[in-house]
Chains A and B, each alone.
Chain A
Amino acid sequence: MKQEVSPQLQEDQKGPWWRVFLSFIFDVRVLGVLGQIGFILLVIIIAQTIGGNFSENASRLGESQFICRDGTFSYRCAYDFMDSESGFDIAETMIDYVNTDPYWTAFKVGLLNTLKLALLGVTLTTLIGIIAGIARLSDNWLVSKLALWYVELMRNTPLLIQIVFIYFGVVLALPALKEAIQPMGLPIFLSERGLNLPKLIFTSSASIWIAFLILGIIQFQVLWTSLGRREERTGQASNRVALGIISLVIVASIGWFTASAVSDTQGMLVTKGSRILDVGDLVKFTLRRAKVNHIDDIAALPEEEISAAAFQVCVLEDSSSEANLTRHLRGLKIPYNIHRTDRPDQATAKFADGTCEAFAASKSILAAERATLENLTGNIIISIKESPLVWSLPVLEGLNMVGGSKVRPEFTALLMALVLFYGGSIAEIVRAGILSVSKGQSEAARALGLSEGQRLQLVVMPQALRVIIPPLIGEFLSLSKDTSLGFAIGFPDMYAVSYTTMNQSGRVLQLFVLMMLVYMTISIVFSGVLNWYNERAKLVER
């Protein structure tokens, strides 16, 4: 019996040669291989075109671009120019930098500024985004409409315009430093010169306190898990939050007082004649001069008598000694007047000529300075106890703010613009994620008696996150790359610093390669972390 063969196949096998060839070509397996080969060829052609162009340009520039220190030319010396002096100033630096430092240091300053902006931006954006996203779904008409307007406004205008607008239209339009906005009387000043915030200074005794703190946290952890296990076993609720916090606070306070008591690095240079042997003696000293019996009476004195009685003290600019000493003086209610100098010898000179009655600094500086004084034995160094952490508060002095930390207007504006813009996009992602969880899930949670908070936290959010995370990665990457838009308002990020370096050195290629590498590294790290999370949060299905 003859086997049935389809007419098509019969024709293919027996037809003329071109028909056999065509049926070979249109075989899906053959097509797959041919497609691969074609694509590889395309890649090679493109690479050759770009590569040829690149090497032609490079060899044309060779003499000036790839020059080594010994005068020879080599591609390996492409980045040697980065060791030479930069010659330009940078307004905002997180590390020490002067214009005589090499290009590498300048690049590092720019890179740190970019990273600071990206990390702060991502954190704040996530917060704003989640709040606005949940607000969009609120039953409250005003809340949801406000969130809607915010999202639409942010998403429908270009980021660059927002950055420039916030810089010129909002931050630079703030009042002058003298009329700075001070929200609720807090030591926070918002002005056209940016933001002045209190700064927490870690003093030399901080390490002791931090050791205690770590001990406390370990203890907290141990207590937490052991109580938790017992709770799961017996079902008896113990107040482990309160217990844990109380024990942590006790350990931390013991550490605080121990650290303050043993601290012995801060001191104050005074004359023997002042009869000041420790900080407490300053009260008697001031009372004698103001001719009153009690320190509280000083406040009642006329203005000029108070300033006459004020304790004149020299400190170094931007030192933690100032914050520490003024904390003591405020505690003792002693009127004081601070003289800041750039260098220790200037302070010593003021101390010698009597402008300052004391010079507060670290003991090592004071010992060296005391040795330079003519009347060595007439002057003594007394100890000032120092807490592990000291607040340095911003204070207006003349035309400038002293103390605290300064956030420049460019950074303020750029951060505001990035956070507001990307907050809008993330709000929509969060909203979409929450809406992607079916209504049945919420109904089941409610029917089981879960509260609204538990429903969001235990049922809706874990499922929404699987939808939220992948697009969120994209937003984070865009944000960290868009920090380079700070160029428009003169924020010295990596791109701005590189741009100046390019203009000065003419090494365009090298710097672009460097920048691309950095942005790529940032992106890979971000997406790596979030992909790892995403992999973990995946649903198990058949």
Chain B
Amino acid sequence: MATMEGPSQSFVDEIIVCENVHKWFGEFEALRGLDLRVKPGEVIVIIGPSGSGKSTFIRCLNRLEEHQDGRIIIDGIELSHDLRNIQVVRREVGMVFQQFNLFPHLTVLDNITLAPINVRKWSRDHAEELAMTWLHRVGIPEQAAKFPGQLSGGQQQRVAIARTLTMQPKILLFDEPTSALDPEMISEVLDVMRDLARSGYTILAVTHEMGFAREVANRVIFMDAGKIVEENTPDDFFNNPKEERTKLFLSQILQH
């Protein structure tokens, strides 16, 4: 049984490989040839102006969006039209959404154990045990019997994180996890994310939390108009950006 201390071991050098990924929405080209290689345990923060394709890109990684050209290989499995591959990849890749997307008709505990029982085919006892461990780790074990509608936004997002992690994924995708939260709830979610980043999960996070990026990211990626404009260490990214576009963006967001 995998422990909850960290993700299960991966046996590939590069857990995410993207080569020349293209994506169109009708006439509009959302992704214009992305290349990215991620090693197991790396924490990558993706930033960029709205409409730059950040969310579209990470949604391609578990095939919530379909890329139309190029290759995406997750943990040695190529995402193609083969449904079996998609199912395997989705089991290994967890995703946390901006709008939490908890299931309102199920209790917190049932939200978390739904996929482990039905997808991983674990026993209810085992799934609930692990779910409770994760609820402890995100700090809200006392909310297990409540329904999502009874929780605050920050609590809901922490449940969503516990739900994702109980599936024991190797890769975590965060799609603007704090953007829908009140300011005083952002820190409680960021604390959990920091904790996870230090536990060895491979993380790709789209976020506007520059503090988080500075503190825990191995790499920061800046995207604009469907392309990766700059890829850098957090230090260099914030202090010595190479590209003019990055400088402009940083000057705009850091003014506020």
Contacts and interface: CB of A to CB of B under 8 A. Distances in A.
A30 interface: no
B101 A234 contact: no
Nearest to B116: A448
Contact of A447 (B62, B114, B150): B62
A446 B95 CA distance: 10
Interface residues of B, number: 33
Contact of A449 (B90, B103, B122): B90
Interface of B: 62, 64, 87, 90-91, 93-95, 97, 99, 101-105, 114-115, 118-119, 121-126, 146-147, 149-150, 160, 163-164, 167
B190 to A, nearest CB: 21
A444 B149 contact: no
Contacts of B121: 235, 237
Given A235-B125, A441-B101, A448 B87 contact: no
Contacts of A235: 121-123, 125-126
Nearest to B64: A443
B114 A446 contact: no
A448 B163 contact: yes
B147 A448 contact: no
Contacts of A458: 114, 118
22 contacts: A232-B123, A232-B124, A236-B123, A440-B99, A441-B101, A441-B103, A444-B97, A445-B103, A447-B64, A447-B90, A447-B93, A448-B94, A448-B167, A450-B118, A459-B103, A466-B105, A537-B105, A539-B104, A540-B149, A540-B150, A541-B104, A541-B147
A63 interface: no
Given A237-B121, A541-B149, A450 B115 contact: yes
A542 B150 CA distance: 5
Interface string A500-542: 0000000000000000000000000000000000000101111
Most buried by A among B62, B118, B146: B118
B147 A540 contact: yes
Given A446-B90, A449-B91, A451-B87, 18 more contacts: A232-B124, A233-B123, A235-B126, A237-B121, A440-B101, A443-B97, A444-B97, A446-B64, A448-B119, A450-B119, A454-B118, A454-B119, A463-B103, A463-B104, A539-B105, A540-B147, A541-B149, A541-B150
A136 B119 CA distance: 28
Given A237-B121, A459-B103, A447 B149 contact: no
State the 4 A-B residue pairs at the shortest beta-carbon distance, nearest first.
A235-B123, A541-B149, A444-B101, A448-B115
A450 B118 CA distance: 7
A539 B147 contact: yes
A231 interface: yes
A445 B114 CA distance: 9
Given A235-B125, A542-B149, A447 B94 contact: yes
Contacts of B123: 231-236
Given A447-B62, A447-B64, A540-B147, A462 B101 contact: no
Nearest to B118: A454
A539 B102 CA distance: 13
A383 B237 CA distance: 98
Interface in A406-447: 438, 440-441, 443-447
B62 A233 contact: no
A449 B121 CA distance: 12
Contacts of B91: 449
A458 B110 CA distance: 11
A541 B147 CA distance: 7
Contacts of B87: 449, 451
Nearest to A466: B105
Contacts of A537: 105
Contacts of A440: 97, 99, 101
Interface in A385-410: none
Contacts of A236: 123
A454 B120 CA distance: 13
Interface string A197-232: 000000000000000000000000000000000011
Most buried by A among B93, B124, B163: B124
Most buried by A among B103, B105, B121, B125: B105
A455 to B, nearest CB: 10
Contacts of A232: 123-125
A447 B95 contact: yes
Contacts of A234: 123
Contacts of B146: 540
A504 B37 CA distance: 89
Contacts of B164: 447-448
A454 B124 CA distance: 17
A463 B147 CA distance: 14
Contacts of B99: 440
Contact of A443 (B94, B101, B114, B119): B101
Nearest to B146: A540
Contacts of B118: 450, 454, 458
A449 B146 CA distance: 24
Nearest to B123: A235
A397 B122 CA distance: 61
Contacts of A438: 101
Given A449-B115, A458-B118, A540-B150, A444 B62 contact: no
A454 B105 CA distance: 15
Contacts of B122: 235
A462 B105 contact: yes
B94 A444 contact: no
A49 to B, nearest CB: 49
Nearest to B95: A447
A162 to B, nearest CB: 37
B155 to A, nearest CB: 11
Nearest to A465: B105
Contacts of B94: 447-448
Nearest to B152: A542
Contacts of A231: 123
A233 B124 CA distance: 7
Contacts of A449: 87, 90-91, 115, 119, 167
